[in-house]
Structure 1
Amino acid sequence: MTISPEVTSETASEARGTTAPDLPSATLGGDSKRSIEQITLLLFITVPFLALVAAVPLAWGWGVSWLDLGLLTAMYYIGCHGITIGFHRYFTHGSFKAKRPLRIALAIMGSLAVEGPLVRWVADHRKHHKFSDAEGDPHSPWRFGETVPALMKGLWWAHIGWMFDEEQTPQHKYAPDLIKDPAIRRISRQFVLWTVVSLAIPPVVGGLVTLSWWGAFTAFFWGSLVRVALLHHVTWSINSICHAVGKRPFKSRDRSGNVWWLAVLSCGESWHNLHHADPTSARHGVLRGQVDSSARLIRWFEQLGWASDVRWPAASRIEARRQSAPADAA
C-alpha cells in the first residue's frame, strides 16, 4: 500500500477554507503552517533533543542528582498523563465526561508536555483516525509504500516529519466543539505561555531546594530539556512504531499494533491495536498483564466523582473485536 502525497479532494476542500470560518481560531497562527506555535514547537523539539543526546556523556562527567531525577519523573508523568488522559482519551475521543475543574486541569497538564496547542493536537488526531493508515492520514508510516526504504522514510515521516509539512489540518472542521469553549480556546492559544511554565518549573524548584544556580541548571537540563525530549519521542513512537510493528489481537481497519515495551513510558498508549479497534474506550490495555496507568487514573477520577459516563470496555465488546486468530505484525 502506498499513500499518495498528492492533495486529495478531502484536503483540497480543506485548503479552500470551506470549514466554519465564523468560528474563532484556537491557535495564534490559525491554520497557518509558519505560525508562532510551530516555530516554538520546532525550537523545543530541537533543543531538548540535543540535550537528550548530550545527557549520557554529561551524566558520565558530573552525574545526576536524585532531585534532578525526581523532577524529570514527576514532570514527565504529569505531561504524559495530560496527553494520554486529557488531549487523547478525553478531548479527542470523549471516553468520559469531566467536571469543569478536571477539564481545565487536563488541558493545562497536556499543554505542559510541549506537543503543540490543544486544539491543533486534537484536530490532527481526529483526522488520523478518520483516515488511519490510508490516504489523508497526517502521519502514517506507510505513506510512501511497503518496501524497506519506503518504510524507513515513512517511519521518519510518522515520527516527526509530518509536523512540518505544508498541509495543516483545519481546526474548525475537526475540533469545532473545543473552539466553542472559551476556556479551552484560551488555553490552546496560550501554548507558548504553558511551554515557558513547563520549562521553568524544574529550575525554579531545583534552585530553591539547593539554594544554588548549579542546582537550577542541572534541574533545567534534566527536568526540562531531557524530560521534554524523552516525552516527545515516546509520544511520536505511537504514531510511527505502533503503526509498523506489534501484536494485533483485535480487528481494526489499519496497521495499529500493541508494543509492550512502550507501555509504562507511554502511560498505556502503546496498547494501540485495541485503541484503533475501539477508539472511545477509556482503557487501552484490556488484556491480562497490560499496564495502563491512564486507565487507572481515570478510574480514580470516577471514584472521586470528578469523571462520569466512563466508557469502560465490556468483556463482550472486547471479544467481539478479537481477531479469529491473533495476528502479529509483518
Structure 2
Amino acid sequence: MTTSLPAPRAEATPTTGSPAGAPEPSGPARDLPSATLGGDRQRSVEQIALLLFIIVPFVALLAAVPLAWGWGVSWLDLGLLVVFYFLGCHGITVGFHRYFTHGSFKAKRPLRIALAIAGSMAVEGPVVRWVADHRKHHKFSDAEGDPHSPWRYGETLPALMKGLWWAHMGWMFDKEQTPQHVYAPDLIKDPAIRRISRQFILWTAVSLLLPPLIGGLVTWSWQGALTALFWGSLVRVGLLHHVTWSINSICHAVGKRPFKSRDRSGNVWWLAVLSCGESWHNLHHADPTSARHGVDRGQVDSSARLIRWFELAGWASDVRWPKRSRLDARRRVENPEESAPAQTA
C-alpha cells in the first residue's frame, strides 16, 4: 500500500488491558476462543451483515428529509428516534469507547454487560472487533498502521477527499487487519462479553425491532409500526452511524487543538451533542483514559455526565476524572484563549 502517512511511532498510547505494543503471539494467545461472528478466519457473515446494516439505514436517512417535508413525523416516532439514538450512542461512547477500550472507570458486572448490549444496539459491529480496531487506531493514530486516518493518501485536496471517505466508512470493508487476540484479549477471555460479541446479529435485531413493536402497540396499527421502523430504527441507525464515523474523519482533519497530542485530532463543537461528547477529540487523544473529553467551559459532554451518575449510584468506581495539573501539562501554551477553568469531575 502506498501512503504518505508517517512511520509508526515507537511509543504507544496506553490503553487499559490492551497489549497494543506487543508482537503477534503464538501459543496460548493464539488459542483464545473467537469472539467474531463466523470466526476470525470466516468473516463473510459479519461482512454481509455489516454491509446490509450500513446501506439500508443510509438509504432511509437520505429519504428522511423529503418524507418529513411531505408527510411530517409524529411525536411518537420522533421520541423513539431520540430515545434509541442516545441509548445506542451512549452505549458506544460510555461502553465500547471509554470503558471497554480505555478503562476510564471500573464497572460492576451488571453495568459491564448492560454497556456491551447497549453499544451493540448501535449496530456498529461486535464489541470485541470495535474495541480491537479502536485500540489499534490509538497505537498508530494518523501514522502508518492506523485503520482509518483521513491522511492516509496525502495532504493535497484530492488526497484528503479520498482519505476522508476512507476514514469515514471505506476502511470497514477492507481486509481484516486487526488481530483481536492481540488488541482485545481481555474481552475475549470474558465469556459474557465474548458471547455478546458473537451475538451481534441478535442485538441488531433487538435494536431494529423494538421501535416498531412499541410504535405498533401504542398506535395499535401496522402503519404505526412501519413509521416507527422507518424513523426509530432505520433513520436513527443511519444518523448515529454517520455521527460516529465523523469522529474518525472530520475530527482528524479539522477542529481546534488546544492540547498537545501525537496526531491531528481536533475539537469539533457542532458535533458535541449528537456525538455525546466524543467530538472533543483533541483532549481525548492527548489523554485517552480520561473519563471526560469536554474539559473546558461550555464543552457539553453527556457521556461524562452519565459516568458521573453511574459513580454516584455505586455502579462505577475508580473513575479517571481529569486533574487540573494533568490538563495543564498537556495544554498548548500558544492558545491562551483555551485556558478557561477545566471541569475535573
Return the TM-score normalized by structure 1.
0.94
Which residue among 218, 233, 240 is the counterpart of 1:224? 233
Instruction: Classify the secondary structure of the residue corresponding to 1:137.
Output: coil
The number of residue pairs the alignment matches comes to 322
Among 314, 324, 327, the residue aligned to 1:318: 327
Residue identity in the other structure for 2:182: K
Shift of the alpha carbon at 1:36? 1.4
Amino acid at match of 1:65: S
CA distance in 2, matches of 1:246, 1:145: 19
| RMSD over equivalenced CA pairs, Å | 2.0
Is 1:64 matched up with 2:73? yes
Which residue in the other structure is 2:115 paired with? 106
Corresponding residue SS for 1:21 = helix
Of 59-68 and 257-266, deviating more is 59-68
Q: After the TM superposition, which residues 142-161 of structure 1 pair with which residues of structure 2 at under 5 Å, given as runs?
A: 142-161=151-170
Residue ranges of structure 1 left out of the alignment (5+ in a row): none
3-state SS of 2:300 partner: coil
| Contact residue 203 and residue 215 of structure 1 kept, 8 A | yes
For residue 333 of structure 2, give the secondary structure of its aligned residue in structure 1.
Answer: strand
* Partner secondary structure for residue 228 of structure 1: helix
Residue 118 in structure 1 maps to residue 118 in structure 2: no
Contact 2:36 / 2:43 at 8 angstroms: preserved in 1? Answer: no
Q: CA deviation at 1:20?
A: 2.1
Letter in 2 for 1:2: S
Residues 1:42 and 2:64 are matched in the alignment:
no
Gap change, CA 1:161 and 1:19, over 3 Å in 2 = farther
Match of 2:199 in 1: 190
Q: Which moved more, 1:124-133 or 1:23-32?
A: 23-32
Aligned to 1:208: 217
For 1:260, which of 269, 274, 290 is the aligned residue?
Answer: 269
Q: Please point out which of 62, 66, 70 is paired with 1:53.
A: 62
Contact persistence 2:142–2:263 (CA under 8 A): yes
* C-alpha distance in 1 between matches for 2:6 and 2:40: 22
By how many angstroms is 1:59 displaced?
1.4
Equivalent residue number for residue 15 of structure 2: none
Q: Structure 1 residues 233 and 143, CA, compared in 2 at 3 Å: closer, same or farther? A: same
> Structure 2 length as normaliser, TM-score?
0.90
Further displaced range: 25-34 or 110-119: 25-34
CA contact (8 A) 1:4 1:144 kept: no
Q: Is the 8 A contact 1:172 1:179 kept in 2?
A: yes
Matches within 5 A, 1:232-271: 232-271=241-280
Query: 2:99 maps to what in 1?
Result: 90
2:145 is the counterpart of 1:136: yes
Q: Which residue of the other structure, out of 281, 299, 304, is the alignment partner of 2:308? A: 299
Contact kept? 1:248, 1:327, Cα under 8 Å? no
Distance 1:222 1:32 in 2: 36
How far off is 1:79 after superposition? 0.1
Aligned equivalents of 2:135, 2:116: Cα separation in 1: 17
Q: Structure 2 unaligned segments of length 5 or more: list them.
A: 8-19, 338-345
